[in-house]
Chains A and B, each alone.
Chain A
Protein backbone atom coordinates (compact mmCIF):
# COMPACT_ATOMS: atom_id res chain seq x y z
CA UNK A 1 0.00 0.00 0.00
CA UNK A 2 1.47 3.33 -1.08
CA UNK A 3 0.95 6.24 1.28
CA UNK A 4 0.58 9.68 -0.30
CA UNK A 5 0.56 12.92 1.63
CA UNK A 6 -0.81 16.03 -0.09
CA UNK A 7 -0.62 19.73 0.82
CA UNK A 8 -3.59 21.07 2.71
CA UNK A 9 -5.13 23.02 -0.16
CA UNK A 10 -5.27 19.89 -2.32
CA UNK A 11 -6.68 17.78 0.51
CA UNK A 12 -9.45 20.35 0.89
CA UNK A 13 -10.09 20.43 -2.84
CA UNK A 14 -10.46 16.66 -3.05
CA UNK A 15 -12.18 16.20 0.34
CA UNK A 16 -9.32 14.11 1.72
CA UNK A 17 -8.58 13.71 5.41
CA UNK A 18 -5.00 12.81 6.23
CA UNK A 19 -2.96 10.48 4.04
CA UNK A 20 -4.21 8.64 1.00
CA UNK A 21 -3.47 4.94 0.66
CA UNK A 22 -3.21 3.61 -2.88
CA UNK A 23 -2.79 0.12 -4.26
CA UNK A 24 -0.50 0.01 -7.30
CA UNK A 25 -0.30 -2.90 -9.72
CA UNK A 26 3.08 -2.99 -11.44
CA UNK A 27 6.03 -0.63 -11.05
CA UNK A 28 5.69 1.99 -8.33
CA UNK A 29 6.80 5.27 -9.86
CA UNK A 30 5.83 8.91 -9.59
CA UNK A 31 3.72 8.48 -12.70
CA UNK A 32 1.90 5.35 -11.56
CA UNK A 33 1.22 6.79 -8.12
CA UNK A 34 -0.09 10.09 -9.47
CA UNK A 35 -2.15 8.33 -12.16
CA UNK A 36 -3.81 6.21 -9.48
CA UNK A 37 -4.30 9.22 -7.24
CA UNK A 38 -5.99 11.23 -10.00
CA UNK A 39 -8.16 8.28 -10.95
CA UNK A 40 -9.54 8.10 -7.44
CA UNK A 41 -9.74 11.88 -7.01
CA UNK A 42 -10.50 13.47 -10.41
CA UNK A 43 -10.54 16.93 -8.83
CA UNK A 44 -6.75 16.63 -8.56
CA UNK A 45 -6.29 16.32 -12.32
CA UNK A 46 -4.25 19.25 -13.56
CA UNK A 47 -3.39 20.48 -10.06
CA UNK A 48 -0.20 18.46 -9.49
CA UNK A 49 0.81 17.88 -13.10
CA UNK A 50 0.07 20.16 -16.02
CA UNK A 51 -2.81 18.87 -18.16
CA UNK A 52 -0.94 19.29 -21.43
CA UNK A 53 2.72 18.60 -20.67
CA UNK A 54 2.11 16.08 -17.87
CA UNK A 55 4.99 17.70 -15.99
CA UNK A 56 5.07 18.49 -12.28
CA UNK A 57 3.84 21.98 -11.53
CA UNK A 58 6.87 24.05 -10.78
CA UNK A 59 5.77 25.20 -7.31
CA UNK A 60 5.09 21.66 -6.12
CA UNK A 61 7.84 19.27 -5.02
CA UNK A 62 7.96 15.51 -4.57
CA UNK A 63 9.77 14.27 -1.43
CA UNK A 64 10.28 10.81 0.08
CA UNK A 65 12.70 9.33 2.61
CA UNK A 66 14.24 12.75 3.25
CA UNK A 67 15.13 13.11 -0.42
CA UNK A 68 13.90 15.53 -3.07
CA UNK A 69 12.68 13.38 -5.97
CA UNK A 70 11.26 16.31 -7.92
CA UNK A 71 13.82 16.10 -10.68
CA UNK A 72 13.86 12.31 -10.96
CA UNK A 73 12.31 10.71 -14.01
CA UNK A 74 8.56 10.21 -13.51
CA UNK A 75 9.14 6.59 -14.50
CA UNK A 76 11.99 5.91 -12.05
CA UNK A 77 11.15 3.43 -9.29
CA UNK A 78 10.27 5.05 -5.99
CA UNK A 79 12.32 4.05 -2.91
CA UNK A 80 11.63 0.66 -1.36
CA UNK A 81 10.38 2.31 1.81
CA UNK A 82 7.65 4.04 -0.20
CA UNK A 83 6.78 0.82 -2.01
CA UNK A 84 6.46 -1.03 1.31
CA UNK A 85 4.42 1.75 2.89
CA UNK A 86 7.01 2.42 5.56
CA UNK A 87 7.43 5.98 4.28
CA UNK A 88 4.93 8.27 2.52
CA UNK A 89 5.31 9.89 -0.87
CA UNK A 90 5.05 13.60 -0.14
CA UNK A 91 3.61 16.23 -2.47
CA UNK A 92 4.78 19.51 -0.99
CA UNK A 93 4.01 23.11 -1.86
CA UNK A 94 7.21 25.08 -2.47
CA UNK A 95 7.83 27.86 0.00
CA UNK A 96 6.98 31.14 -1.65
CA UNK A 97 5.98 34.58 -0.63
CA UNK A 98 8.03 35.04 2.54
Chain B
Protein backbone atom coordinates (compact mmCIF):
# COMPACT_ATOMS: atom_id res chain seq x y z
CA UNK B 1 0.00 0.00 0.00
CA UNK B 2 1.19 3.50 -0.73
CA UNK B 3 2.51 5.76 2.00
CA UNK B 4 2.74 9.49 2.19
CA UNK B 5 5.56 11.46 3.79
CA UNK B 6 5.05 15.19 4.36
CA UNK B 7 8.19 17.24 4.92
CA UNK B 8 7.55 20.41 6.89
CA UNK B 9 10.05 23.23 7.38
CA UNK B 10 9.32 25.69 10.19
CA UNK B 11 10.83 28.67 11.98
CA UNK B 12 12.21 26.36 14.67
CA UNK B 13 12.97 23.05 13.02
CA UNK B 14 11.74 20.40 10.60
CA UNK B 15 8.97 17.88 11.07
CA UNK B 16 8.20 14.72 9.13
CA UNK B 17 4.60 13.55 9.01
CA UNK B 18 3.82 10.06 7.71
CA UNK B 19 0.67 8.15 6.94
CA UNK B 20 -0.55 5.25 4.88
CA UNK B 21 -2.42 5.88 1.66
CA UNK B 22 -5.69 6.46 3.47
CA UNK B 23 -4.17 9.63 4.93
CA UNK B 24 -6.36 9.49 8.01
CA UNK B 25 -3.89 8.76 10.81
CA UNK B 26 -0.55 10.53 10.99
CA UNK B 27 2.72 10.03 12.81
CA UNK B 28 4.70 13.18 13.60
CA UNK B 29 8.50 13.06 13.84
CA UNK B 30 10.53 16.04 15.02
CA UNK B 31 11.62 18.62 15.62
CA UNK B 32 14.71 17.93 13.56
CA UNK B 33 17.35 20.71 13.75
CA UNK B 34 15.51 22.12 16.73
CA UNK B 35 15.73 25.87 17.09
CA UNK B 36 16.95 26.51 13.53
CA UNK B 37 14.92 27.91 10.69
CA UNK B 38 14.30 25.25 8.08
CA UNK B 39 13.26 27.07 4.95
CA UNK B 40 12.87 23.95 2.87
CA UNK B 41 13.42 20.23 2.68
CA UNK B 42 12.75 17.92 -0.20
CA UNK B 43 13.32 14.33 -1.30
CA UNK B 44 14.91 12.94 -4.42
CA UNK B 45 12.38 11.67 -6.98
CA UNK B 46 14.70 8.77 -7.87
CA UNK B 47 15.71 7.85 -4.32
CA UNK B 48 12.90 8.93 -2.00
CA UNK B 49 14.92 8.19 1.12
CA UNK B 50 17.52 10.76 0.04
CA UNK B 51 16.38 14.02 1.58
CA UNK B 52 17.99 17.44 1.62
CA UNK B 53 17.21 20.17 4.14
CA UNK B 54 18.14 23.84 4.34
CA UNK B 55 18.86 24.78 7.95
CA UNK B 56 19.82 28.32 8.85
CA UNK B 57 19.94 30.84 11.64
CA UNK B 58 20.83 34.48 12.10
CA UNK B 59 23.53 33.36 14.55
CA UNK B 60 25.30 30.66 12.60
CA UNK B 61 24.36 31.05 8.97
CA UNK B 62 23.60 28.25 6.55
CA UNK B 63 23.80 24.49 7.02
CA UNK B 64 22.70 21.87 4.52
CA UNK B 65 21.61 18.53 5.95
CA UNK B 66 21.25 15.25 4.08
CA UNK B 67 19.46 12.08 5.03
CA UNK B 68 19.83 8.72 3.32
CA UNK B 69 17.09 6.98 5.30
CA UNK B 70 14.00 9.07 4.82
CA UNK B 71 14.75 11.48 7.61
CA UNK B 72 15.49 9.06 10.45
CA UNK B 73 19.09 10.28 10.60
CA UNK B 74 20.78 13.33 9.15
CA UNK B 75 24.31 14.59 8.56
CA UNK B 76 25.52 18.05 7.62
CA UNK B 77 27.08 18.36 4.17
CA UNK B 78 28.59 21.38 2.42
CA UNK B 79 27.46 24.88 3.32
CA UNK B 80 29.85 26.99 1.28
CA UNK B 81 27.88 29.10 -1.19
CA UNK B 82 30.21 31.52 -2.92
CA UNK B 83 29.19 33.63 -5.90
CA UNK B 84 31.26 33.05 -9.01
CA UNK B 85 33.66 35.82 -9.96
CA UNK B 86 32.98 39.39 -8.94
CA UNK B 87 29.66 39.29 -7.14
CA UNK B 88 28.61 42.74 -8.34
CA UNK B 89 25.58 44.68 -7.18
CA UNK B 90 21.81 44.60 -7.39
CA UNK B 91 19.37 47.34 -6.43
CA UNK B 92 18.71 47.94 -2.76
CA UNK B 93 15.25 48.92 -1.49
CA UNK B 94 16.08 52.59 -2.06
CA UNK B 95 17.27 51.96 -5.59
CA UNK B 96 20.96 52.29 -4.82
CA UNK B 97 23.47 49.59 -5.83
CA UNK B 98 23.99 46.97 -3.13
CA UNK B 99 26.58 44.19 -3.11
CA UNK B 100 25.34 40.66 -3.62
CA UNK B 101 25.53 38.89 -0.23
CA UNK B 102 24.68 35.26 0.43
CA UNK B 103 22.11 34.96 3.23
CA UNK B 104 20.37 31.58 3.05
CA UNK B 105 19.07 28.78 0.89
CA UNK B 106 15.34 29.16 0.27
CA UNK B 107 14.71 26.12 -1.89
CA UNK B 108 16.40 22.81 -2.63
CA UNK B 109 15.39 20.93 -5.77
CA UNK B 110 16.81 17.43 -6.19
CA UNK B 111 17.44 16.35 -9.76
CA UNK B 112 14.79 14.27 -11.50
CA UNK B 113 17.40 11.68 -12.51
CA UNK B 114 20.32 11.65 -10.06
CA UNK B 115 20.04 11.61 -6.26
CA UNK B 116 23.46 13.23 -5.89
CA UNK B 117 22.54 16.22 -8.02
CA UNK B 118 20.59 18.97 -6.33
CA UNK B 119 19.88 22.60 -7.12
CA UNK B 120 19.68 25.41 -4.58
CA UNK B 121 17.89 28.73 -4.88
CA UNK B 122 19.44 31.26 -2.56
CA UNK B 123 19.12 34.79 -1.18
CA UNK B 124 20.59 37.09 -2.53
CA UNK B 125 19.15 35.50 -5.63
CA UNK B 126 21.38 33.01 -7.38
CA UNK B 127 21.23 29.46 -8.66
CA UNK B 128 23.63 26.84 -7.28
CA UNK B 129 24.18 23.20 -8.14
CA UNK B 130 25.80 20.27 -6.38
CA UNK B 131 26.64 17.00 -8.11
CA UNK B 132 28.09 15.23 -5.07
CA UNK B 133 25.15 14.99 -2.73
CA UNK B 134 25.46 18.51 -1.38
CA UNK B 135 29.11 18.39 -0.36
CA UNK B 136 30.21 21.08 -2.79
CA UNK B 137 28.19 23.85 -4.41
CA UNK B 138 28.88 25.80 -7.58
CA UNK B 139 26.97 28.81 -8.76
CA UNK B 140 25.71 28.75 -12.33
CA UNK B 141 26.44 32.44 -12.89
CA UNK B 142 24.63 32.81 -16.19
CA UNK B 143 21.45 33.70 -14.32
CA UNK B 144 22.83 36.70 -12.44
CA UNK B 145 25.06 37.53 -15.36
CA UNK B 146 22.55 37.53 -18.19
CA UNK B 147 22.24 41.32 -18.03
CA UNK B 148 19.33 42.33 -15.83
CA UNK B 149 20.89 41.34 -12.49
CA UNK B 150 21.91 44.87 -11.48
CA UNK B 151 18.22 45.88 -11.78
CA UNK B 152 16.86 43.17 -9.49
CA UNK B 153 15.50 44.40 -6.19
CA UNK B 154 14.52 42.56 -3.00
CA UNK B 155 10.92 42.14 -1.99
CA UNK B 156 9.93 42.59 1.64
CA UNK B 157 11.07 39.04 2.37
CA UNK B 158 14.46 39.48 0.75
CA UNK B 159 15.78 38.92 -2.76
CA UNK B 160 15.24 35.21 -2.91
CA UNK B 161 15.30 32.57 -5.61
CA UNK B 162 12.42 30.50 -4.26
CA UNK B 163 11.07 28.36 -7.12
CA UNK B 164 12.99 25.79 -9.16
CA UNK B 165 11.11 23.58 -11.64
CA UNK B 166 13.10 21.19 -13.85
CA UNK B 167 11.11 20.25 -16.94
CA UNK B 168 10.49 16.47 -16.80
CA UNK B 169 10.24 16.30 -20.61
CA UNK B 170 13.37 18.31 -21.39
CA UNK B 171 16.51 17.76 -19.29
CA UNK B 172 17.99 21.06 -20.46
CA UNK B 173 15.05 23.21 -19.40
CA UNK B 174 14.53 24.65 -15.91
CA UNK B 175 12.14 27.35 -14.76
CA UNK B 176 12.95 29.51 -11.74
CA UNK B 177 11.40 32.51 -10.02
CA UNK B 178 12.84 35.32 -7.95
CA UNK B 179 11.29 37.93 -5.68
CA UNK B 180 11.41 40.61 -6.96
CA UNK B 181 12.96 39.98 -10.34
CA UNK B 182 10.48 37.65 -11.98
CA UNK B 183 10.50 34.32 -13.77
CA UNK B 184 13.37 32.98 -15.85
CA UNK B 185 13.99 29.95 -18.05
CA UNK B 186 17.09 28.12 -19.17
CA UNK B 187 17.13 25.80 -22.17
CA UNK B 188 20.78 24.76 -21.79
CA UNK B 189 20.92 23.30 -18.27
CA UNK B 190 21.52 26.60 -16.56
CA UNK B 191 24.29 28.08 -18.66
CA UNK B 192 22.16 30.88 -20.08
CA UNK B 193 18.82 32.28 -18.99
CA UNK B 194 16.09 34.51 -20.32
CA UNK B 195 13.42 36.45 -18.44
CA UNK B 196 9.93 35.07 -19.13
CA UNK B 197 7.76 37.88 -17.84
CA UNK B 198 5.88 39.08 -20.92
CA UNK B 199 2.27 39.72 -19.98
CA UNK B 200 2.95 40.38 -16.31
CA UNK B 201 1.73 43.75 -15.07
CA UNK B 202 2.99 45.12 -11.75
CA UNK B 203 1.87 48.53 -10.61
CA UNK B 204 4.53 48.66 -7.90
CA UNK B 205 7.41 49.04 -10.35
CA UNK B 206 8.08 52.17 -12.41
CA UNK B 207 7.44 50.39 -15.71
CA UNK B 208 4.60 47.94 -14.97
CA UNK B 209 5.35 45.75 -17.98
CA UNK B 210 9.15 45.71 -17.60
CA UNK B 211 11.06 42.57 -18.52
CA UNK B 212 12.25 42.18 -14.91
CA UNK B 213 11.23 43.50 -11.50
CA UNK B 214 8.04 41.51 -10.95
CA UNK B 215 7.46 39.96 -7.56
CA UNK B 216 6.62 36.39 -8.48
CA UNK B 217 5.58 34.53 -5.34
CA UNK B 218 5.42 31.00 -6.68
CA UNK B 219 4.96 28.91 -9.82
CA UNK B 220 3.70 25.41 -10.55
CA UNK B 221 3.02 23.05 -13.44
CA UNK B 222 1.66 19.57 -13.99
CA UNK B 223 4.50 17.21 -14.78
CA UNK B 224 2.71 15.88 -17.86
CA UNK B 225 2.26 19.38 -19.27
CA UNK B 226 5.27 21.51 -18.37
CA UNK B 227 4.59 24.11 -21.06
CA UNK B 228 1.55 25.24 -19.09
CA UNK B 229 2.72 27.29 -16.13
CA UNK B 230 0.70 28.77 -13.31
CA UNK B 231 1.93 31.69 -11.24
CA UNK B 232 0.84 33.39 -8.05
CA UNK B 233 2.29 36.85 -8.37
CA UNK B 234 2.37 39.48 -5.61
CA UNK B 235 -0.96 40.47 -7.10
CA UNK B 236 -2.57 38.41 -9.90
CA UNK B 237 -2.82 34.72 -10.64
CA UNK B 238 -1.30 34.13 -14.06
CA UNK B 239 -1.11 31.36 -16.65
CA UNK B 240 1.24 30.69 -19.54
CA UNK B 241 0.52 28.16 -22.29
CA UNK B 242 3.89 28.55 -24.00
CA UNK B 243 6.48 27.78 -21.34
CA UNK B 244 6.53 31.33 -20.08
CA UNK B 245 6.92 33.14 -23.39
CA UNK B 246 3.68 34.95 -22.59
CA UNK B 247 1.29 35.15 -19.64
CA UNK B 248 -2.35 36.02 -19.15
CA UNK B 249 -4.29 36.65 -15.99
CA UNK B 250 -6.63 33.98 -14.63
CA UNK B 251 -7.57 35.56 -11.31
CA UNK B 252 -11.25 35.52 -12.34
CA UNK B 253 -13.64 35.58 -9.39
CA UNK B 254 -11.09 35.21 -6.59
CA UNK B 255 -11.93 37.41 -3.57
CA UNK B 256 -8.39 38.79 -3.80
CA UNK B 257 -5.71 37.82 -6.24
CA UNK B 258 -2.90 38.40 -3.75
CA UNK B 259 -1.36 35.30 -2.23
CA UNK B 260 1.72 33.18 -2.06
CA UNK B 261 1.07 29.51 -2.86
CA UNK B 262 -0.17 27.88 -6.04
CA UNK B 263 -0.21 24.21 -6.97
CA UNK B 264 -1.66 21.80 -9.52
CA UNK B 265 -3.69 18.66 -8.85
CA UNK B 266 -1.50 15.64 -9.65
CA UNK B 267 -4.29 13.89 -11.57
CA UNK B 268 -6.02 16.81 -13.27
CA UNK B 269 -3.68 19.24 -15.05
CA UNK B 270 -6.35 21.94 -15.19
CA UNK B 271 -7.22 21.79 -11.50
CA UNK B 272 -5.24 24.36 -9.55
CA UNK B 273 -5.23 25.64 -6.00
CA UNK B 274 -4.46 28.99 -4.39
CA UNK B 275 -4.98 30.51 -0.95
CA UNK B 276 -6.05 34.14 -1.35
CA UNK B 277 -4.52 36.51 1.16
CA UNK B 278 -5.77 40.02 1.85
CA UNK B 279 -3.54 42.64 0.26
CA UNK B 280 0.18 43.03 0.48
CA UNK B 281 0.03 44.67 3.92
CA UNK B 282 -2.53 42.53 5.71
CA UNK B 283 -1.04 39.10 5.26
CA UNK B 284 -4.05 37.12 6.42
CA UNK B 285 -7.14 35.58 4.80
CA UNK B 286 -10.01 37.89 3.81
CA UNK B 287 -12.75 38.12 6.47
CA UNK B 288 -10.75 35.90 8.79
CA UNK B 289 -11.84 32.85 6.78
CA UNK B 290 -9.17 30.40 5.68
CA UNK B 291 -10.25 29.29 2.23
CA UNK B 292 -8.45 27.34 -0.43
CA UNK B 293 -9.73 28.23 -3.87
CA UNK B 294 -9.85 25.59 -6.57
CA UNK B 295 -10.24 26.07 -10.27
CA UNK B 296 -11.09 23.04 -12.40
CA UNK B 297 -10.79 25.05 -15.59
CA UNK B 298 -7.17 26.10 -15.40
CA UNK B 299 -8.08 29.45 -13.89
CA UNK B 300 -10.69 32.21 -14.06
CA UNK B 301 -13.50 30.15 -12.47
CA UNK B 302 -12.79 29.50 -8.81
CA UNK B 303 -14.68 27.80 -5.98
CA UNK B 304 -14.02 28.25 -2.29
CA UNK B 305 -13.06 25.11 -0.36
CA UNK B 306 -13.95 25.53 3.30
CA UNK B 307 -14.97 22.19 4.81
CA UNK B 308 -12.76 21.64 7.83
CA UNK B 309 -10.96 24.97 7.57
CA UNK B 310 -11.54 27.74 10.15
CA UNK B 311 -14.18 30.17 8.91
CA UNK B 312 -13.92 32.79 11.60
CA UNK B 313 -11.14 34.65 13.41
CA UNK B 314 -8.37 33.09 11.33
CA UNK B 315 -5.47 35.44 10.67
CA UNK B 316 -2.64 33.17 9.58
CA UNK B 317 -0.62 33.38 6.40
CA UNK B 318 0.44 30.61 4.03
CA UNK B 319 3.97 31.11 2.74
CA UNK B 320 5.04 30.57 -0.86
CA UNK B 321 6.55 27.10 -0.52
CA UNK B 322 3.99 25.81 1.98
CA UNK B 323 1.61 23.93 -0.32
CA UNK B 324 2.14 20.57 -2.01
CA UNK B 325 0.21 17.69 -3.52
CA UNK B 326 0.67 13.93 -3.40
CA UNK B 327 0.19 11.68 -6.43
CA UNK B 328 -2.51 9.41 -5.08
CA UNK B 329 -6.00 9.09 -6.47
CA UNK B 330 -7.75 11.18 -5.16
CA UNK B 331 -5.08 13.79 -5.03
CA UNK B 332 -3.99 14.82 -1.55
CA UNK B 333 -3.43 18.53 -1.01
CA UNK B 334 -1.42 19.89 1.92
CA UNK B 335 -0.57 23.32 3.22
CA UNK B 336 1.00 24.83 6.32
CA UNK B 337 0.30 28.12 8.03
CA UNK B 338 2.17 30.69 10.05
CA UNK B 339 0.01 29.54 12.97
CA UNK B 340 1.69 26.16 12.89
CA UNK B 341 -1.14 24.13 11.42
CA UNK B 342 -0.61 21.69 8.58
CA UNK B 343 -3.91 21.00 6.84
CA UNK B 344 -4.49 18.04 4.56
CA UNK B 345 -7.21 17.04 2.18
CA UNK B 346 -7.32 13.47 0.88
CA UNK B 347 -10.09 14.23 -1.61
CA UNK B 348 -8.61 16.92 -3.83
CA UNK B 349 -9.69 19.74 -1.55
CA UNK B 350 -13.33 18.89 -0.81
CA UNK B 351 -12.64 18.26 2.88
CA UNK B 352 -9.79 19.32 5.14
CA UNK B 353 -8.42 18.39 8.53
CA UNK B 354 -5.29 19.46 10.40
CA UNK B 355 -2.54 16.85 10.64
CA UNK B 356 -0.93 18.92 13.38
CA UNK B 357 -2.07 22.19 14.91
CA UNK B 358 0.71 23.71 16.96
CA UNK B 359 4.02 23.62 15.14
CA UNK B 360 6.20 26.72 14.84
CA UNK B 361 5.31 28.93 11.88
CA UNK B 362 5.42 26.76 8.76
CA UNK B 363 7.82 27.89 6.04
CA UNK B 364 7.52 25.01 3.58
CA UNK B 365 5.59 21.83 2.87
CA UNK B 366 6.64 19.08 0.48
CA UNK B 367 5.05 15.69 -0.07
CA UNK B 368 6.45 12.34 -1.12
CA UNK B 369 4.21 9.53 -2.30
CA UNK B 370 5.97 6.26 -1.44
CA UNK B 371 5.21 2.81 -2.79
Contacts and interface: CB of A to CB of B under 8 A. Distances in A.
A46 B80 contact: yes
A77 interface: no
B60 interface: yes
Contacts of B81: 51
Interface in B64-101: 76, 79-82
B61 A50 contact: yes
B79 A7 contact: no
Contacts, number: 42
A74 interface: no
Interface stretch (A19-27, A52-60, A63-71, A80-88): A52-60
Name the prevailing secondary structure of the B interface residues. loop
A7 B60 CA distance: 10
Contacts of B58: 59, 96
Contacts of B79: 45-47, 51
Contacts of B63: 13, 43, 47
A45 B63 CA distance: 9
Contact of B59 (A46, A50, A51, A93): A93
Contacts of A13: 60, 63, 76
Interface in B27-62: 34-36, 57-62
Interface residues of A, number: 19
B82 A51 contact: yes
B82 A60 contact: no
A45 B57 contact: no
B35 A9 contact: yes
B60 A48 contact: yes
A10 interface: yes
Interface string A6-18: 0101101100000
Given A9-B36, A51-B82, A52-B82, A94 B76 contact: no
A7 B80 contact: no
B60 A47 contact: yes
B152 to A, nearest CB: 20
A52 B137 CA distance: 14
Contacts of B80: 45-46, 51
Contacts of B61: 46-47, 50, 57
B62 A60 contact: no
Contacts of B57: 9
A46 B102 CA distance: 12
Nearest to B36: A9
Given A9-B35, A9-B36, A52-B82, A57 B76 contact: no
Given A9-B36, A43-B76, A94 B59 contact: yes
A13 to B, nearest CB: 6
B89 to A, nearest CB: 16
Nearest to A59: B59
Interface string B3-25: 00000000000000000000000
A61 to B, nearest CB: 10
Contact of A57 (B35, B60, B82): B60
Enumerate the 5 nearest inter-chain pairs by beta-carbon distance, A residue then B residue, closest first.
A47-B60, A43-B76, A59-B59, A51-B80, A46-B79
Given A9-B36, A47-B63, A52-B82, 9 more contacts: A9-B35, A9-B60, A13-B60, A45-B79, A45-B80, A46-B61, A51-B80, A52-B102, A59-B59
Interface of A: 7, 9-10, 12-13, 43, 45-48, 50-52, 57, 59-60, 93-94, 96
